Amino acid sequence: MVDHLATTNSVTEEENSEDVLYAKLDHIFNSSTQAIPVRYSIEISSKDDFDIGQLERLTPQPVFSALPWISDENLRYADNFSRSPTLQLTNRLRKSRYTVVNHVSCYNITEQQVDQLLSTGIRNLFVIRGDTVSPEQTFLNSAGLVQYLRKQEQQKGHSKLTIGVGGYPYGHHQSPSETDELRYLAEKISNGVDFLLTQTVYDAQSFLRYRTRCREAGISIPIIPGIYVPHSYRHLQTMLNLTRIQLRPTVRDAFDTHANDAPEQFEAFMVDYFVGVLRELLEPNASSSDPIKLVHFFTFNKFALLQQVLHRLENFIE
């Protein structure tokens, strides 16, 4: 299903149909078999010393592993992206038979650099605008970058690209209104987006309401909830500040109650809490016309926490 590339720096040299993300997603979301269990994917923090053994010990194994885009770091290697730490880790994961989704940011990336990135063999992309936007940059928004990727796919004869973008259950802080935000999202998706992965979800109802609004706006692609299990109260606050999410008062109060817990107590509370959120999301699957079939975890490489959640949800996630 995927063309083999001759370049020695290709990250798809060992590709086969079972490793292609769009084939996996098609099986998960479009299979006529009702018994397909919920699956999960993860985001890994790209570090030079990342131990793949941590990933290999997870049970069950993820559908794909996503690697974030660090603009300044990656663009230093724009003359040869395969030398960047992110692409080096991509290659290591691919050699260990993991399907990888690479984030790519619009920030200061040029069309030539996008072409260079595609020349490495990357075919699974999560497109983000980035927190910083320069008026002079080529792609001012992710819709433009998605459109360019699809154009290159057609004109250059690239094998199938699988493209995801982000969704915001708590709203995007720069959107003038919820209606405008969903209209823009629908337009972006019409450029050729395969799946929507949400920002961190802290309560089930916020995700479910967001999904309903997306469906009402004509968005029909898979919507995957993003889950982050904080390992400390301080890290939770950092994440909330970075994402500018305003929690529902009851959720914030529940978290604040454990602000001074010992580390082990805080982690235990968070595992309990997010297992509860996921149960609320997944229990209606049996009778739902729009079941959740894939859950994404932002791990920050805290695999022990993730394994606890997976173990507690073994009746749902396989």
pLDDT above 50 (res 300): yes
- The CA distance from 73 to 46, in Å, is 11
Report for 3-12, 63-72, 306-315: range of highest mean pLDDT: 306-315
SS3 185: helix
What number of other Cβ atoms are within 10 A of residue 275's Cβ?
18
- Lowest-confidence range among 65-79, 134-148, 237-251? 65-79
pLDDT at 37: 87
pLDDT above 50 (res 236): yes
pLDDT above 80 (res 225): yes
CA dihedral 44, 45, 50, 53 (to 10 degrees): -20
Q: What is the mean pLDDT of the chain?
A: 87
User: What does pTM read for this prediction?
Assistant: 0.90
pLDDT at 78: 67
- Lowest-confidence range among 101-115, 125-139, 296-310? 125-139
Q: What pLDDT band is residue 80 in, cutting at 50, 70 and 90?
A: confident
Inter-residue contact 229 to 252 (CB < 8 Å) = no
36-315: in CATH 3.20.20.220: yes
Task: Give the closest residue to 80 by CA, choosing from 37, 113, 129.
Answer: 113
Model confidence pLDDT, tens digit, residues 241-291: 999 999 999 999 999 999 999 999 999 999 999 999 999 999 999 899 999
More confident of the two residues 57 and 75: 57
